[in-house]
A and B are shown apart, each in its own frame.
Chain A
Amino acid sequence: MTTASGFQMPKPVLAVEGLTVSFDGFKAVDDLNLYIDRNEVRVVIGPNGAGKTTVLDLICGKTRATGGSIQFNNRELTRMNEYDIVRAGVGRKFQTPSIYDNLSVFENLEMSFPKGRTVFGALFFKRSQQVVDRVNEVAADIFLADLLQQQAGLLSHGQKQWLEIGMLLMQDPELLMLDEPVAGMSVSERAQTADLLNRISQGRSVLVIEHDMEFVKSIAHKVTVLHQGKVLAEGSMESVQKNPKVIEVYLGH
């Protein structure tokens, strides 16, 4: 266990150990260790092809690991299927905003409400007051309170990003994984998002992939640098930025 993530908390929420995946021999993620604590916002950075997105895929079950383990609240995720991982409390936002263009903002959020998830549950699902309240609450969080009836396809790019984050919040996950949440956002939107992330990190852990260093600075408690599927460096933003290996990797090509 690296000293870095060692001793604030004996039990990290997420403990990734020796994680490895290879596609036809090519190791996209190679013997990776990663520990994230409650209330922590962790940002993973690294050059393209470093395996950042693959790590998220592995954690949420989209890709199956070739080796290693992923412990989430002492539950082994590597052998669980996607929806069980989600139900266990892991939420994941995709790189390109992935929402239901045909449905209204309200319905998009409603979809993620953790009720009526089985076939017959869905068949007889009733839009209770509880649901409506929750939706309004989240909508307020993600700055879309007055766009609830809007058809989601018509939202701006930034708003779509928020909506997807909102859909995750509906599930009230313990671990929130965001793949480039501010891509394509205006400066002001980025500020709002940073503020949003800081708010929602309370009581849960957030794992973010991001390129925009300004944004990273504004949210990251700790930064992990990936390179060729391995952890190159880990620590505070400052320490990482001083790290010669990191500089070499980033400026080296």
Chain B
Amino acid sequence: MQWLSDFGAIAAMQGFNGLSVFCVLLLMALGLAIIFGQMGVINMAHGEFLTIGAYTTYVLSTLVQNYMPSMQPYYFFFAIALSFVVAGAIGWAVERVMISRLYHRPLDTLLATWGLSLVMQQAFRSIFGAREVSANPPEWLMGAVSLTDAIEIPKNGLFVMALTVLMTGGIFLMLYRTRWGLQVRATVQNRVMSRAVGINTRQVDRMTFALGCGVAGVAGAAFTTIGSTGPTAGSLYIVDTFLTVVFGGAQSLLGTIASAFAIAQTQSVSEFFMSGSMAKVLTLSTVILILLMRPQGLFSSKIRK
């Protein structure tokens, strides 16, 4: 009997776990969904922008610890904002010197950005050392909320979840409710035409790319609460992230959300019944198989060509 109630509790927490994996995945994929989905640019260095966010948070947290411990509980929000700005700014620069010259060569963008990711990783190593570092998040993010004595919900999970909802909502509004979003979508649809109607496509591209990187930065900041921060931390995520976006059907933000959810749940549930490695293999293979059968991804509109 006891065992049964336990099981209920576990089921609940397992469900929650699925959700938080989903949020993590989505948070990572959002930036990419913008850059890859909207601009069609494959940024293999996306993971490194995530790492930038993480390191920014780390630096800030150490500063706070040493100089204004009183701020400890609050610094984290500032860290998130700062991560967004830093990653965004670097993204802006990268777009300017590199991406902008490669728009007509998607495959080459892929290769060039991969080279960039190598450079960035080594840069992290030179600056912060090869060791894993740990930004210590504010106390209030640690521990769990116990609903019952059996059901405990990790606070950082809740936090990441809230953040994800916020970001997703924000991006939705920006893309579909603002003039800027309209320009972005117009540029995606037809670059030449957009230029003709007086949209500064250069500017739009630059901002879009910067935004995408900024979002990656925020993701990085959020991950310091659940994961590790090392020079190669970001590169671990890159494949999953790309798959998520592709699986969702590149153009569609909704698709990205759906696929993130699907992948996360498969992963989390299968992990519960088999070894983590096998769960990973199972999940990825399933995604690949579905992609083989439906290459355009889950959501994709039939376009008149």
Q: Counting CB contacts under 8 A, is B304 at the interface?
A: yes
What is the CB-to-nearest-CB distance from B278 to chain A, in angstroms, rounded to a whole number?
38
Prevailing SS type, chain B contact patch: loop
Considering only CB atoms, which chain B residue lies closest to A63 in the complex? B305
Q: Counting CB contacts under 8 A, is B302 at the interface?
A: yes
Interface residues of A in 27-66 (CB under 8 A from B): 28, 54, 62-63
What is the CB-to-nearest-CB distance from A187 to chain B, in angstroms, rounded to a whole number?
30
Query: A24 vs B302: C-alpha distance in the bound complex, in angstroms?
Result: 7
Query: A23 vs B302: C-alpha distance in the bound complex, in angstroms?
Result: 6
Q: Counting CB contacts under 8 A, is B70 at the interface?
A: no
Query: A231 vs B52: C-alpha distance in the bound complex, in angstroms?
Result: 61
Considering only CB atoms, which chain A residue lies closest to B301 in the complex? A24
Query: A24 vs B301: C-alpha distance in the bound complex, in angstroms?
Result: 7
What is the CB-to-nearest-CB distance from A25 to chain B, in angstroms, rounded to a whole number?
10
Q: Counting CB contacts under 8 A, is B197 at the interface?
A: no
Query: A26 vs B303: C-alpha distance in the bound complex, in angstroms?
Result: 11
Query: A63 vs B303: C-alpha distance in the bound complex, in angstroms?
Result: 10
What is the CB-to-nearest-CB distance from B47 to chain A, in angstroms, rounded to a whole number?
35
Q: B282-305, CB under 8 A of A: which get 1 and which 0?
A: 000000000000000000011111
Cβ contacts under 8 Å, B301 to chain A: 24
Query: A24 vs B299: C-alpha distance in the bound complex, in angstroms?
Result: 13
Query: A107 vs B185: C-alpha distance in the bound complex, in angstroms?
Result: 41
Cβ contacts under 8 Å, B305 to chain A: 62-63
What is the CB-to-nearest-CB distance from B142 to chain A, in angstroms, rounded to a whole number?
49
Chain B residues packing against A (C-beta within 8 Å): 301-305
* A–B pairs, 10, beta carbons within 8 Å: A23-B302, A23-B303, A23-B304, A24-B301, A24-B302, A26-B304, A28-B304, A54-B304, A62-B305, A63-B305
7 extra A-B contacts, CB within 8 A, seeds A23-B302, A23-B304, A24-B301:
A23-B303, A24-B302, A26-B304, A28-B304, A54-B304, A62-B305, A63-B305
Per CB-CB distance, the 9 closest pairs between chain A and chain B, nearest first, are: A23-B304, A23-B302, A24-B301, A24-B302, A28-B304, A23-B303, A54-B304, A63-B305, A62-B305
